[in-house]
Amino acid sequence: MSIHYHPQGNEIALFEKAFANQLPVLIKGPTGVGKTRFVAYMAERLGVPLYTVACHDDLTAADLVGRFLIRGDETVWQDGPLTRAVREGGICYLDEVVEARKDVTVVLHPLADHRRELFLERTGEHLTAPPTFMLVVSYNPGYQNFLKGLKPSTRQRFVALRFDFPVPEKEREILIAETGCEPWVAQKLVHLAQAIRGLKQIDLEEVISTRMLVYAARLIASGVEPLLACHAAIIEALTDEREVALGLEEIVRSVFEG
């Protein structure tokens, strides 16, 4: 099944040029604006395999590169996703890369500069990435604190693309195309998103994403009452604080009943 992606600007052309010039790419932007979908779309567009890794606090270099495993009476080497991408000439996408342990960047640096090399210390292999290999990483600079930012020595190895929320007209088009919802529903949801994103008096860890709007639109298109759909797909996803949820519910009511 083909992946649908709605471009926001010149990101497709820039990614293709980076790929053609064997340059790694860093994608910066808030949660739910389509970073992961964009990478999947580009892998399909370019016709190369994609290995996606959701980074977390326990992710180590061995998780990416590979390790020896015991199978029966034998000890066998198993490639990690980064090594498989290098061998096959595909894209390795590390989502929220700053969440991984620090030893990960040590492995990435030789792949993210002119060397394009991966050294497998455990096996003694020295791999040179083929022309179709591409390293792509992403993170949310608005969410990460200063302890988890990318070091300049790492960040400057990448061509950087900044993603943000679509303009209202584009966001409406996305909702209609993705969910088949009525235009008035898309209009109301985008209006709601603009209202919540502009809040100053309510402290939210994350603002409302296009992904949340898509979920709400799908529920509404399937027959769920709009207020209930927004409560389930947006409000409860944004906060666990009851008082904050009540405030958001008032905004939803004002948008859909006003």
Where in the sequence is the domain holding 102, given as residue range(s)?
11-162
What would the pLDDT profile of 100-147 be if each residue is shown by its tens digit? Answer: 888 888 899 999 999 999 999 889 999 999 999 999 999 988 654 444
Question: Is 166 in contact with 6 (CB distance < 8 Å)?
Answer: yes
The pTM of the full predicted model, rounded to 2 decimals, is 0.86
The reply to whether 77 and 179 lie within a common domain is no
The reply to whether 233 and 150 lie within a common domain is no
pLDDT, greater one: 91 or 203: 91
CATH code of the domain covering residue 137:
3.40.50.300
pLDDT at 171: 94
Q: Is the pLDDT of residue 180 over 50?
A: yes
Residue 49 located in a structural domain: yes
The reply to whether 153 and 206 lie within a common domain is no
pLDDT at 173: 94
pLDDT at 143: 57
pLDDT at 148: 61
pLDDT, greater one: 207 or 11: 11
Half-sphere exposure of 233 (CA within 13 A, CB side): 24
The reply to whether 37 and 61 lie within a common domain is yes
What whole-number percentage of the chain has pLDDT above 70? 96
The reply to whether 30 and 139 lie within a common domain is yes
What would the pLDDT profile of 48-81 be if each residue is shown by its tens digit? Answer: 999 999 999 899 999 999 999 988 888 899 999 9
Using DSSP bridges, classify how beta strands 74-79 and 66-71 pair: parallel, antiparallel or unpaired: antiparallel
CA-CA-CA-CA torsion sign (25, 29, 33, 36): positive
What would the pLDDT profile of 155-177 be if each residue is shown by its tens digit? Answer: 899 999 999 999 999 999 999 99
The reply to whether 81 and 132 lie within a common domain is yes
CA angle 16, 4, 137 (to 5 degrees): 45
What is the C-alpha to C-alpha distance for residues 223 and 185, in angstroms, rounded to an integer? 12
What is the C-alpha to C-alpha distance for residues 48 and 180, in angstroms, rounded to an integer? 30
Q: Is the pLDDT of residue 151 over 90?
A: no
pLDDT at 67: 92
What is the C-alpha to C-alpha distance for residues 174 and 152, in angstroms, rounded to an integer? 35
Residue 4 located in a structural domain: no
